[in-house]
Amino acid sequence: MTPARRWLLRLTASVTLLMAVAWWTDIRAVTAHLAGIDPRWVAAALVLSGIQILLSAWRWRFTAAQLGLPLPLGLALREYLLAGFLNQVLPGGVLGDVSRAWRHADASGATGRAVRAVVLERGSGQLTMALIAVPALLSLSGLASASVSWGAAAGVTVVILAASTQLRAPAAQAPSGLVTDTRRALLTPAALPLQLLSSAAVVATYLLVFLAAARAIGAELPAAQLLPLVPPVLLAMLIPVTIAGWGLREGAAAGVWAIAGLDPAQGAAIALTYGALVLVAALPGALFMERTPGARRDRGRAPDQEGTSGDSLKSNSTS
């Protein structure tokens, strides 16, 4: 399938889903919520998005450093801005990450480790989001009490720590060195706390941007009631069938709001506002479109013999 055809299919999926949400929630109700957006909250959301990009770039730099790859913070920030822009305008929501992985590979001459650094950096964020989303979903659906829900998150954490202990022992060589690099980048005693803290900070900015979007359209839900609704909506965006999650995000928000006994149109309106804010925040990345990766600086260096993991990268989209 050609890239143009793939983009058209994803665009069609986004438009179809948005039309379905408009039919379900009543487009007039959604537009009523969107009337009179507060620019102060828009500005706050854009500032938070900038902080989010900076934290994410630092996390990538830290992950790469654990694998022995130099990555200056300024370069990581520029590449993350470009990747964010590409993820917003290209199908699947991951092609920007593919781009920064291969650009770093070209600059470093270590293709396998550069690709895995991006896979692991994104995986760290998505795992943290899942730790938050699982108890939120359980509480939302009434399947478990709050204590049981957070207990589920604690259980996942225990599994991670147990895996960290086991991976310190000699293990069979995995394809592409993924197990070894996972241990080095995520699961060592020095790396794990920083990975969890940085990813938690990134996830917090996602939640706060969503809260700012809600306040921008005048939604007065208490933060304690609103924030648990957000992680399931953000996770829905990871399904790679639309452009930047458009349609999926709004449908998930309407559904989550309905399950919570709230107005689905309000959820869809907040999600639309959130999507627009994220798109605007990503636009500065277009300034780096003309910067092409240079030739590898050290042609005499032996190429990295470790395999790449393109399929793994494509399976990792946004956090």
Please, what is the Cα angle at 235 between 154 and 285, to 5 degrees?
120
Domain ranges of the chain: 3-291
Model pLDDT for residues 148-187, shown as the tens digit of each residue: 444 544 544 444 444 444 334 333 333 457 888 999 999 9
From 33-42, 151-160, 204-213, the region with the lowest mean pLDDT:
151-160
- Here the tokens at position 52 are 């989010």
Q: How confident is the model at residue 191 (pLDDT cuts 50, 70, 90)?
A: very high
Residue 316 has a pLDDT of: 43
Residue 141 has a pLDDT of: 56
Q: How confident is the model at residue 32 (pLDDT cuts 50, 70, 90)?
A: very high
pLDDT of 20 strictly over 60: yes
Residue 176 has a pLDDT of: 52
Q: How confident is the model at residue 15 (pLDDT cuts 50, 70, 90)?
A: very high
Spatial neighbors of 267 by CB under 8 A, at least 6 apart, are 229, 233, 253, 254, 255, 256, 257, 258
Rounded to 10 degrees, what is the CA torsion of 295, 300, 305, 306? -50
Cα Rg, the chain, nearest whole Å: 20
Query: What is the DSSP-derived secondary structure letter of residue 243?
Result: B
Averaged pLDDT, 223-241: 89
Model pLDDT for residues 49-69, shown as the tens digit of each residue: 999 999 999 999 999 999 999
pTM: 0.81
Chain-centre distance for alpha carbon 184: 22
Phi, psi of 91 (to 5 degrees): -70, 150
pLDDT of 274 strictly over 70: yes
- Here the tokens at position 87 are 């993820």
Q: What share of the chain is helix, strand, coil (3-state, %, to 5)?
A: 75, 0, 25
Who wins on pLDDT, 143 or 20? Answer: 20
Who wins on pLDDT, 95 or 272? Answer: 272
Residue with tokens 């399929």: 311
The amino acid sitting at 265 is A
Model pLDDT for residues 121-155, shown as the tens digit of each residue: 988 888 888 888 777 767 665 544 455 444 544 54
Spatial neighbors of 51 by CB under 8 A, at least 6 apart, are 205
In angstroms, the CA 88 to CA 106 distance is 23
Altogether, the residues listed in the chain come to a count of 319
Averaged pLDDT, 214-241: 91
Q: Are 211 and 227 in contact (CB under 8 A)?
A: yes
Averaged pLDDT, 214-233: 93
Who wins on pLDDT, 151 or 6? Answer: 6
